[in-house]
Chain A
Amino acid sequence: ETGVTQSPTHLIKTRGQQVTLRCSSQSGHNTVSWYQQALGQGPQFIFQYYREEENGRGNFPPRFSGLQFPNYSSELNVNALELDDSALYLCASSLAGFPQENHFGPGTRLTVT
């Protein structure tokens, strides 16, 4: 069973730039959720993708967008980066349904300078 993988591990961007983070879901999982974890905080839900469509969204502005591909992998895109976007971005995959058992990847550490 292949777990959730994320790339890159770390990256540093400048304010105003754009970034794309990638996630491969655990084999057999068809739903991907993205979370932002600021330093010293719990993860916060950004959005979820199912059947290649956004299937729920947290309190994040439209400059946070995503994609899901036919193989269930996913991308998180953030435009016009702000300093407060510095965080650990976690991807979680699950099977469709509620409640879900989410399996998390190791995360991507984004630093915005």
Chain B
Amino acid sequence: AQSVTQPDIHITVSEGASLELRCNYSYGATPYLFWYVQSPGQGLQLLLKYFSGDTLVQGIKGFEAEFKRSQSSFNLRKPSVHWSDAAEYFCAVATKGNYGGSQGNLIFGKGTKLSVKP
């Protein structure tokens, strides 16, 4: 079955330090992968997506992610974290499920909460 695993429930980093959030997926076909960010009480904002091509994708707010098929991973990185990056981060994979002609839906991981120390 398709699934997304985010091994880290909570990560704390110092402001200015680098960040890497881990994501592993299980999906039989070509994966289409996403990272979303959710601030408290807010909806989800798309940070970046991987559909095909260059395995290193750039997103908004200085984030990037690298798709590694051999490791079934799509880790999110940022070289220097800002206090405003404190939020919850969700990795997701697009799946057509078992819906026949459906356009599919997203399967999300459980999220990683990022705290930033001053």
Q: Do A and B bind each other?
A: yes
A6 to B104, CA, bound (A): 22
Q: What CA separation (Å) do A14 and B105 show in the bound complex?
A: 30
Of B13-21, B40-48, B60-68, B69-77, which binds chain A?
A: B40-48
* CB within 8 Å of B: which A86-113 residues: 90, 92, 94, 96-107, 109
Interface residues contributed by chain B, number (CB under 8 Å): 28
* Residues on A with beta carbons closer than 8 Å to the beta carbon of B108: 42-44
Beyond the given pairs A50-B103, A107-B43, 20 more chain A to chain B contacts, judged by CB atoms under 8 angstroms and listed by A's residue number, are A31-B103, A33-B105, A41-B110, A42-B109, A43-B90, A43-B106, A43-B108, A45-B105, A55-B99, A55-B102, A56-B102, A56-B103, A99-B32, A99-B51, A99-B104, A100-B103, A101-B49, A105-B43, A106-B43, A107-B42
